[in-house]
Chains A and B, each alone.
Chain A
Amino acid sequence: MASGLYAAGCPGIRVKYPVALALAALLCAATSASGAQPDGALSETGPANGLADSAALRATVFGPAPQDIAPLPDSVPLEEINIALPWVRTVPDLFWFDRRLRVWFSAQDKPAPLAIVISGIGSDGNTSKLSILRAALYGAGYHVLTMPSPTFPDFIVSASSTGVAGDLQQDSRDLYAAMQEIIAHLPRRVRITDIDILGYSLGGAHAAVVKSIDAAEGKLKIHRAIMINPPVSLFNSVARLDKLFAINIGSADSGVERLYKRLYTRLANLYRMSQRVPNDDTDLLAAAATVLKTDADFSAAIALTFRIALMNMFLAGDLYAGTGVVIDPRHPPRPGDSLEETARILRGKPFAEYFAQVFAPYYLAHRPNSTPDSLKADNRLDIIGATLRTNPDYYAQTNSDDLILDKPEFEWLQATLGGRIAVYDHGGHLGNLGERRQISDMLDMLSGHWRQSGQ
């Protein structure tokens, strides 16, 4: 008899709500922390930092209240497509499960426009955020193709031409190539009348750059692009998240261990007080949501979620580039080897180290005449600034309290998009994704009917 053992798997794998994801991520990160000595007290109460206010942090972690979600259809068909791409490089043993790119597709049963949606940093093509966007788009009559971020390990292994993720242009070119392959392999019954592209967070920047590449190459004839809470400079946004980590979690191992102990204790006490045992994972995660209380908790959850994404990128990049930071290129770990120590080291490494030790060495060697500064400049959205300014088919949605943008970046977005950007006064980073207003604006933008005066 199979007896519920599966049920106790990792709840972070496919969870419905952002808070569950954040907490699972938080717990997941703690997986391999060392028993290092504490190096100072961790603040238990907010305010946590100067990066965002309490409401923005809370919205970022918890997402919209379910009663604020836009009307969604009763049923959305879903197909999972696994595709081996012809340019895939030799798959390292360590990533044996990532041979094929996995994307998700929802088909209308009549000719319809296709909406391609790209996930945020480190995320797969079937997150809870994508589920909401998929439902809204499908309900509005689109075929919907949801894709992982080029920074997601499955994409890095099965679709990246470099294995070193994080370069806005290169990653977008890989995405564009993958999209062409996928669309060419869609079932014949699927009839596409037009193609639009969207993305959230880093995926928003990818969406815009992919459209600009397509404008030159014309292979997909992408019509409109929408960026939802995009970064302006990937490296700046990431630096803010690393700062959030440093302030709220501290220096790596010991900080994560303290955070883990705090949350474990709160969760255990919650059950002790209510004198019951968690019934299932949903129950456990729901309770876990209530133990995130302070700004420091929210900040830690956000920072750690990002750090986990970075750990995978770092590991893959180090392996592909042969930079030897955590993996000896001559003796890479085999699938049976423990990665606990590797994870412990990586958890302590911010993006700045990924840039300095993996990303820059690789791209400086492969791009003649480049410098570290030019690499950083190449990763700003203003590489397509002129197009964003003049082309009426680019749109954006952002929040005035989005914690991945600083003031000049926010103003740059507003000035560049002009009348094609919707700015909401709440939500932090993606915390209003799925709300009625955000969804109706998004659909109006896709159909070309959106006007800023409608705000």
Chain B
Amino acid sequence: MRVALCICVAAWALNGCASQQLSIRSLPPETPAADNAAAIKNAAALAAVATAASQSPAAEEGDHAVIPLTTADAPSMYSYDPWERLNRFTYRFNARFDETIFLPVTYGYGRLPGAIRSGVHNFFTNLDEVKTIINYAVQLQPTAGVHSLGRFVINSTLGIGGLFDVATKFHLDSEPTGFSMTLSRWGLHPGPYLVLPLLGPSTLRDSVGLLADFGVAYEVNIAHLYRGEKTWAFGVVDAVDQRANTSFRYYATASPFEYETVRFLYVHRELIEDDALHVKHHPKVRDVGTPAGK
């Protein structure tokens, strides 16, 4: 019933908004001074990372040297997309939904004081630590698992139920993982590209991972948030928080090639992650003629 109502409202909004002659939308103010200060800081951090990477033990010659990939190992530029027509349809639906419903709601949410928004964001990030801890356990990564467990305990207690990210102040940075990455460690390829309704770009492996992670959260049902009367409201706030923290804007490129562009970036980003994860193994020579992700 609720879903049917939502679909009706969505259809009405999608029709109405597209034909408006003029719309003026207030965006969150830009903060150039703070952005530039952050850029100065990032530039320094980046220089440090680059230096560390070139000097890390893994980069040294010897028995334990990482075997670097060569261009022959790079996957094809093509992305494996057997469900392209359906995906394009979903992408278009998502774009319309985003423009007419999701973004206006998110901009409204953006008018709340920053302290409230960061509290909400920290709260959901903290809940995500549960699946991170479980997945690190399954991946047999005890150090990372304990790291995330430490974050979860600190933020849930000192951080008052996760509203404050105290752990990061203690230099315990967030290192999220999920079931998709677990599958990747087990050697599973990303599989076909898949555009999920409302959620956006994904791959088959990511979608399975998402479902499994949700299943875990549902089973653990921390603080009865995932199975209860108000679970839908909880889900909506989570979705709005995610959207508010994502700068992606559908068709900001104004280009008909956007679908191809986003697909390429999504799939190849995932392949780079896989390559980074499998560093301890000898690099496999791929058949570069096979579409990426297959």
Interfacial residues, chain A to chain B (CB-CB below 8 A): 1-14, 16-17, 24, 27-28, 30-33, 35, 65-67, 69, 71-84, 94-95, 97-100, 105, 124, 126, 131-132, 134-135, 148, 152-154, 157, 185, 187, 256-258, 260-262, 264-265, 267-279, 281-282, 284, 286-287, 289-290, 311-312, 315, 333, 335-340, 343
Bound CA–CA A8/B268 (angstroms): 10
Answer whether residue B168 sits at the interface, using C-beta atoms and an 8 A cutoff. Answer: no
Stretch in contact with the other chain, from B3-11, B88-96, B149-157, B158-166: B88-96
Residues from chain A with a CB closer than 8 A to the CB of B42 are 282, 286
What string of 1s and 0s marks CB contacts (under 8 Å) between B252-281 and chain A? Answer: 111111111111111011101101110100
Tell me if A269 and B255 are in contact (CB < 8 A): no
Contacts A6-B246, A272-B69 given; does A31 touch B40 at CB 8 Å: no
Bound CA–CA A245/B200 (angstroms): 33
Q: How far is the CB of B80 from chain A (nearest CB, A)?
A: 12
Tell me if A124 and B254 are in contact (CB < 8 A): yes
Tell me if B255 and A271 are in contact (CB < 8 A): no
Q: Which residue of A lies closest to B261 (CB)?
A: A28
Interchain CB contact (< 8 A) of A272 among B68, B210, B239, B256? B68
Tell me if A9 and B265 are in contact (CB < 8 A): yes
Tell me if B85 and A76 are in contact (CB < 8 A): no
Tell me if B69 and A6 are in contact (CB < 8 A): no
Residues from chain A with a CB closer than 8 A to the CB of B46 are 286-287, 289-290
Q: How far is the CB of A163 from chain B (nearest CB, A)?
A: 14
Q: List 11 A-B contacts (CB under 8 A).
A: A8-B266, A11-B265, A76-B30, A135-B30, A153-B255, A272-B58, A272-B69, A274-B53, A284-B269, A289-B46, A337-B88
Bound CA–CA A99/B75 (angstroms): 37
Across the A-B interface, give the 5 residue pairs with the lowest CB-CB distance, nearest first.
Answer: A9-B248, A271-B276, A154-B254, A66-B39, A72-B32
Interface size class of B (residues with CB under 8 A): 35 or more
Bound CA–CA A11/B239 (angstroms): 20
Interfacial residues, chain B to chain A (CB-CB below 8 A): 18, 20-36, 39-40, 42-43, 46, 49-50, 52-54, 56, 58-59, 66, 68-71, 73-78, 84-85, 88-89, 92, 95, 128, 174-176, 178, 181, 196, 198-202, 206, 210, 213-214, 217, 235, 238-239, 242-243, 245-266, 268-270, 272-273, 275-277, 279, 288-289
Interchain CB contact (< 8 A) of A264 among B201, B257, B266, B268? B268
Tell me if A31 and B77 are in contact (CB < 8 A): yes
Most buried by A among B23, B58, B198: B23
Q: Which residue of A lies closest to B269 (CB)?
A: A8
Q: Which residue of B lies closest to A148 (CB)?
A: B254
Most buried by A among B174, B252, B289: B252
Residues from chain A with a CB closer than 8 A to the CB of B26 are 77-79
Tell me if B68 and A80 are in contact (CB < 8 A): no
Tell me if B27 and A152 are in contact (CB < 8 A): no
Tell me if B66 and A273 are in contact (CB < 8 A): yes
Q: Which residue of B lies closest to A269 (CB)?
A: B68
Tell me if B77 and A78 are in contact (CB < 8 A): no
Bound CA–CA A257/B78 (angstroms): 10
Contacts A2-B239, A8-B201, A340-B260 given; does A30 touch B77 at CB 8 Å: yes
Contacts A2-B199, A134-B30, A287-B49 given; does A275 touch B254 at CB 8 Å: no
Residues from chain A with a CB closer than 8 A to the CB of B66 are 272-273, 275
Interchain CB contact (< 8 A) of B260 among A32, A76, A99, A135? A32
Interchain CB contact (< 8 A) of A265 among B56, B74, B255? B74
Q: Which residue of A lies closest to B199 (CB)?
A: A5
Contacts A14-B247, A185-B22, A273-B56 given; does A265 touch B73 at CB 8 Å: yes
Tell me if A260 and B77 are in contact (CB < 8 A): yes
Q: Which residue of B lies closest to A267 (CB)?
A: B272
Interchain CB contact (< 8 A) of B265 among A24, A78, A124, A257? A24
Tell me if A97 and B251 are in contact (CB < 8 A): yes
Q: Known pairs A152-B254, A157-B254, A286-B46. 10 more at Cβ < 8 A?
A: A10-B265, A11-B265, A13-B249, A31-B260, A32-B257, A97-B254, A261-B71, A271-B276, A273-B68, A336-B89
Tell me if B201 and A9 are in contact (CB < 8 A): yes
Residues from chain A with a CB closer than 8 A to the CB of B29 are 75-78
Bound CA–CA A14/B69 (angstroms): 30
Contacts A3-B178, A339-B256 given; does A74 touch B276 at CB 8 Å: no
